[in-house]
Amino acid sequence: MRLTRLLHLARNRRPVRRFRDRLVEPDMLEAVLEAARYAPSAHEGQPWRFVVVQEALTRHTLAAAAFNHPHVRTAPVVIVCCARIHSHVSGTGRPSFAGDLAAAAQTMVLTAADLGLDSSWIYGFRESGVRSAIGVPGHVPVVALLCLGYHDGLSDLPERRAREEVIGWDRWGANRKTAP
């Protein structure tokens, strides 16, 4: 298997639980945000809206809304990922914004890693608390919080499930056939 730089970044991403008390350089933050603008989205609708929070008191308010997760509490940057509800609706009847925002967040995660930044994204928070902390209108979904900074100590690489457990070939659960 060819190991690309992108695969290397994905494989070596470590979960971050605490960030160091060190500011993220403005040009690095701008690069992460610029990359998100180019993430794929359904019908190129780009339903994302990002609120970049660096002010300490607001970050602590966000941490409280996120059940006091230490990575939210200690992150020098928290990007609140919001969506326009008038995004594309797929043939299944589901709006695309959750997947679109996940693509944008993952693009930010990999760009941050390429720049030497660490990240942690979370979906566990009280949406009303996040809304009131940063003034998100009631009709705009808050999808995720993305924390950026420099880790405070290394954690182990997470275990990954076996390929056969997560990849099926041509049918659900089918293993890849070897060439004749």
- Classify residue 170: in a domain, yes or no: no
Query: How many domains, the chain?
Result: 1
Average confidence (pLDDT) over 154-179: 80
Q: How far is Cα 99 from Cα 44, in angstroms, rounded to an integer? A: 12
SS percent in the chain: helix, strand, coil, step 5: 35, 15, 45
- Classify residue 161: in a domain, yes or no: no
- Classify residue 87: in a domain, yes or no: yes
Tell me, rounded to whole angstroms, the distance of Cα 12 from its chain centroid.
16
Q: Could you tell me which residues are beta bridge partners of residue 120? A: 147
Q: Helix 56-65 crosses helix 127-134 at what angle (to 10 degrees)?
A: 160
Residue 8 above 90 pLDDT? no
Domain with 75, as residue range(s), is: 5-155
pLDDT of residue 87: 63
Residue 15 above 90 pLDDT? no
- Classify residue 17: in a domain, yes or no: yes
CATH number for the domain spanning 58: value is 3.40.109.10
pLDDT of residue 179: 46
Residue 1 above 70 pLDDT? no
Residue 79 above 90 pLDDT? yes
- Classify residue 79: in a domain, yes or no: yes
Q: Is 143 exposed, middle or buried (0-12, 13-18, 19+ CB in 10 A)?
A: buried
pLDDT of residue 165: 85
Contact 108, 33 (CB under 8 A): yes
Q: For tokens 């566990």, name the residue.
A: 124
Residue with more model confidence, 81 or 42:
81
Residue 167 above 60 pLDDT? yes
